[in-house]
Amino acid sequence: MARALSRRDVLKASSAVALTLPAMPLRAAAPPPTAITPDLIAAAQKEGKVIHYTSVDLPLAEKVAKAFEAKYPGIAVRTERSGAERVFTRIAQERSSNIHACDVVQSSDAAHFVVWKRDGILAPYVPEEVAQHYPPEHKDADGLFASYRVYLCVMARNTDLVKAEDAPKSYHDLLDPKWAGKIVKAHPGYSGTILTATYQTARDVGWDYYEKLAKQRVMQVQSASDPPKKLALGERAIMADGIEYGVFQIKETGKPVDVIYAAEGSPLIVGPNGVLKSAPNPNAARLLQSFMLSAECQQFNVDLGGLRSAHALVKDKPGRTPMKDIKVMKDDAAAVEKESEQIKARYVQYFKV
């Protein structure tokens, strides 16, 4: 059986490919903003399909795809969903085999876009709404990607099993012996969300937190979307990390879960979207990129998906704590990209998984 590629393998391969290419001049600025025009729609409809690789949870990704198909009849969206680390590896494997199957790519690990930009595989494209309504920190200066989804990695509780007054308020509270065998968390080797959150938490709280947490007989799952589900089922009482929007979605169906924003701060997760330079359906790819970064789709994500948004015209759903009222850790995609293998190795050293 072939060995699965690690991120280190992928980075080595990317560097090897880069050395064979002529030096390319740096872009001076992003391209002019592009509006959705009848010509773009017609060209996209002529292509008839678009393929999106994403780490967004499948129910929401499919709802967005259906909304796009309804708005632009004749263009079928094929959604390929996997964990962010697997999306990253798949792109690398296809590239090394000269396979061009993906049109638009999204990852919950923003560090992947550092690599993809450096390797020159993203196409410059700036949707009009990105130019008009996204702050600088949420759009690439060279116009190669922008923040499709913004959310927090949070703690949470099963409200039937843990009363509000008894719930942990901080990461250090999880180290209390009373929570041993009652905690669930996800894995940074599978989930880009958790890789990013692990970096931020280790930086701001300390690696000794993870070393001690590993002794609490923690249930270890893969995806960042899994802990809220385990919480809702009552399999664990407390979630150490997981997607905020997953807790929102489950809570709004009447299940006994609620978010806990840690006193030390909640990791900020940014999931960019970008068009691949080798997109087999380039016009449909640009149209999908414009749609996904529009106020219409972003508000859809917030209302139905529980996400946050970088789009200035999008509002938080009533009843949810506004971002301005939450202590949030600072993201650093470049640092995550640089330290990813060390983060995963140290994590596995503690959790033995």
Q: For residue 112, which of 51, 186, 191 has the smallest C-alpha distance?
A: 191
Mean pLDDT of 167-193: 95
pLDDT reading at 1 higher than 60: no
The pLDDT tens digits of the residues spanning 141-159 come to: 999 999 999 999 999 999 9
Residue 210: predicted pLDDT: 97
Contact 281, 117 (CB under 8 A): no
Residue 353: predicted pLDDT: 65
What percent of the chain has pLDDT above 70? 92
Residue 83: predicted pLDDT: 82
d(CA 189, CA 57): 17
Residue 84: predicted pLDDT: 82
Q: Is the pLDDT higher at 58 or at 201? A: 201
The pLDDT tens digits of the residues spanning 221-272 come to: 998 999 999 999 999 999 999 999 999 999 999 999 999 999 999 999 999 9
Residue 352: predicted pLDDT: 81
pLDDT reading at 310 higher than 80: yes
Please state the φ and ψ torsions of residue 49, each to the nearest 5 degrees: -160, 165
- pLDDT-derived band at 192 (thresholds 50, 70, 90) equals confident
Token match 């979307």: residue? 225
Residue 15: predicted pLDDT: 33
DSSP state of 308: B
The dihedral through the CA atoms of 64, 70, 71, 76 has a sign that is positive
Residue 24: predicted pLDDT: 39
State the average pLDDT for the chain.
91
pLDDT reading at 211 higher than 50: yes
- pLDDT-derived band at 4 (thresholds 50, 70, 90) equals very low
The pLDDT tens digits of the residues spanning 57-79 come to: 888 899 999 999 999 999 999 99
Residue 22: predicted pLDDT: 32
